[in-house]
Amino acid sequence: MNKTLVSSKANFGTLPVFLTAISTILGAIMFLRFGFAVGSVGFIGTLAIILIGHLVTIPTAMALAEIATNQKVEGGGEYFIISRSFGLNIGAAIGITLYLSQAVSVAFYVIAFAESFEAIKPWVLSEFGYEIYDNRLFSIPALLLLIWLMVTKGAVLGVKALYVVVTILAISLLFFFFGNTPFAETFDNSQLFNSVASDKSFFYVFAIIFPAFTGMTAGVGLSGDLRDPKKSIPLGTLSATILGMIIYIFIAYKLISSASVEDLVNNQLIMSKIAIWGPIIPIGLAAATISSAIGSFMVAPRTIQAIAGDKVFPNRFVNFWVSKGTKNNNEPRNATIVTSVIALLFVLMGDVNAVAEIISMFFMVTYGSLCLISFMQHFAADPSYRPSFKSKWYLSLLGAVMCIFLMFKINTPYAIAAISLMVALYFYISTKNDNKTGMATIFQGVIYQLSRTMQVFLQKTKKEKTEEAWRPALLCLSKSSFERYSALEMMKWISYRYGFGTYIHFEKDYFSEETKKNAELKLEKLIKNASTSESNVFLQTLIFPSNTAAIVQAIQQPGISGQPNNMMLFEYKKGEKEWLTSIIDNFNVLKTAKYDLCILASSDKGFGFKKDIHVWIRKEDYENANLMILLSYIILGHPDWKKGEIKIYATFPKEELLQEEKNLIELTSSGRLPISANNIRVLPIDENKSRIELINEYSADADLTLIGFQESMLKPDNSTEIFEGYDRIGNILFVNTLTSKFIK
């Protein structure tokens, strides 16, 4: 936030927040359209509108009070709270639309103010013989006067004016409540529950009335001018919201019990027919609308001043000019001029009914965002989130859901337009402000909690242990993460869709502050590389002075998917025996853990063009065969292998060739594996040619070759011999399974 925005302020107390909110809540719609609502949907329907509307406003007010008591609220009100919670990019997208709705609201209230002069039009005609057709005769001078006062005097005069207009507003309501009519004398309270015949739907009337309840956050825009925002915002906002709801309920009762349905629907100033002194209602309307206009005129410039102070706009001069305040109390004079121009344009148009609906959409998005922030903070359980006022998570969730529901219920095209505009603003701001942070922090807390809940749930849930339900949960321990990337690539392919992978970079050293720091730097580099390649592999580092100790520690790592790990992958470079020997020497450890074992032999050729995967099977590979075929299928599912195909080579005695070929074709077709019968080749065992020679001959051009091995093949005096001799082929994945796999 720009320092100029918080250097000085007007030091208002709680009362201005309350007055700004209540004067906006009890505004033009209350005087002009509330009678229409009661006449259209009846007392019970109106009561439902009030209650449904406050299912949005009360959770929002409570969420706002909660967030405001957790952080230092500076200039910008709702924008400041949203941007500091969701990040500047999203905060600015919502903030700009919020500002536009606040600025256009000034014009809306001024136009409504002009409606209060309807009562004097007959008098002007009779006294001066002049008939007034255009209300802009009143609205334009009123706006110009308001602009002059706000530019020259600022918020201090605005607050003083609020005292006057709220007093007039209170008097007009008292005159209304104490008024009486002949209809009221014959009214029976049992008629409250009567249904009303109307051609207007419930949500049509709701759309007209709902903006009457949406002024509760108006006072938050004064946050930069408050002496104690953490106290004034919750107290002023909540008290105005609750008092406004109570007053509206009593107004609905007074209207239904004082006038007929026809009069309520057809006379928009019906309240003047009920009040003790009729002219007080147009005067109250004038006071209510001008106070709402003043409230919006005080809030809107401070919103855009805060946005410019965050350097959101792409032009440096625009940011500087709009964010600049006066020397004495940081009044947003330049921002007020911008707001005045927007308001004047809409007043000249004379009718903002269509615009008013989309304004309501922007307010709904703002309220929904505030409720969502509160809900997510509850769910994230961040220790730094310690508000002195606490709402309930279910109320915040209710408010957010209701906002979305009502947006589409009121006007679906406008709801889509409002959301689309904000999405477009978000992407535009993101491209222009690459250094701005997003909402990662708050979402991280939510993801942490969700991850913990799911992990615990999955651990407690009965595991499906059938052979058909098998999927790889793979661990990889590698010492050569930055020399060769073949192991990380293999993990990426297996973990792309079907499997889960944890890649552990092994630092062979003693644990110390220096080695720990070095391991953390390497982990950051790995994460960066993995992000570039869009890998789904979970990355870790491990520091141990012993290979055996590192392997033992690695196999005890918990599975990231909620199910235990079931497979281990090691990688070595062809021709190098040290790491391979350590792997084989610890075969019994892996056997104890009941892990399948995959050993990737990397060559200088790498994975070539990622087109051909060769699987070699022999009679002794009955257990390994299914695992090798499944792994081939899983690897082929990655986009890197989109042009790849699997070829199966099997070596059997001559007398078994036809039967084994038939078995393999049946296995691949019944298992719905993408392996053509033409790619299955059964070769006879040739006494004059070893199996290694066959593999070197047929798989010389393969990009990956899978070969099975068994524990019995590991010779005590030369345990690495079975991995040698494959000099003419590229990368090889040696596979040993300890549990049966079933291809269904």
DSSP per-residue codes, 201-219: -HHHHHHHHGGGGTTTTGG
List the alpha helices (DSSP H) in 116-213: 121-128, 136-152, 155-177, 182-186, 202-209
pLDDT at 8: 46
pLDDT winner (highest mean) among 160-169, 352-361, 667-676: 160-169
Lowest mean pLDDT among 199-208, 334-343, 641-650: 199-208
* Percentage of residues in the chain having pLDDT higher than 90: 19
Task: Work out the number of other CB atoms within 10 angstroms of the CB of residue 125.
Answer: 12
Smallest Cα–Cα separation from 346: which of 118, 161, 101?
101
pLDDT beyond 50 at 116: yes
pLDDT beyond 70 at 639: yes
The domain ranges of the chain are: 3-440, 467-736
pLDDT at 398: 92
For the entire predicted model, the pTM comes to 0.63
Report the pLDDT averaged over residues 129-146: 75
pLDDT beyond 70 at 237: yes
Helix (H, G, I), strand (E, B) or coil at 226: strand
Fold for the domain defined by 467-736: Rossmann fold (3.40.50)
The CATH code of domain 3-440 reads 1.20.1740.10
pLDDT at 7: 41
* Percentage of residues in the chain having pLDDT higher than 70: 81
pLDDT winner (highest mean) among 133-142, 183-192, 227-236, 502-511: 502-511
pLDDT beyond 80 at 330: no
pLDDT beyond 90 at 691: no
pLDDT digits (tens, 9 = 90+) for 467-484: 556 788 899 999 998 899
pLDDT bin (cut points 50, 70, 90) of residue 598 is very high
Phi, psi of 339, rounded to the nearest 5 degrees: -60, -40
Report the pLDDT averaged over residues 111-139: 70
Q: State the DSSP code for 315.
A: -
Lowest mean pLDDT among 286-290, 638-642, 657-661: 657-661
pLDDT digits (tens, 9 = 90+) for 352-404: 455 566 667 777 887 888 788 888 877 766 666 777 777 888 898 999 999 88
- Work out whether the CA dihedral 248, 253, 258, 264 comes out positive or negative: positive
List the alpha helices (DSSP H) in 611-739: 622-636, 657-670, 691-698
| CB neighbour class for 4 (10 Å; exposed up to 12, middle 13-18, buried from 19) | middle
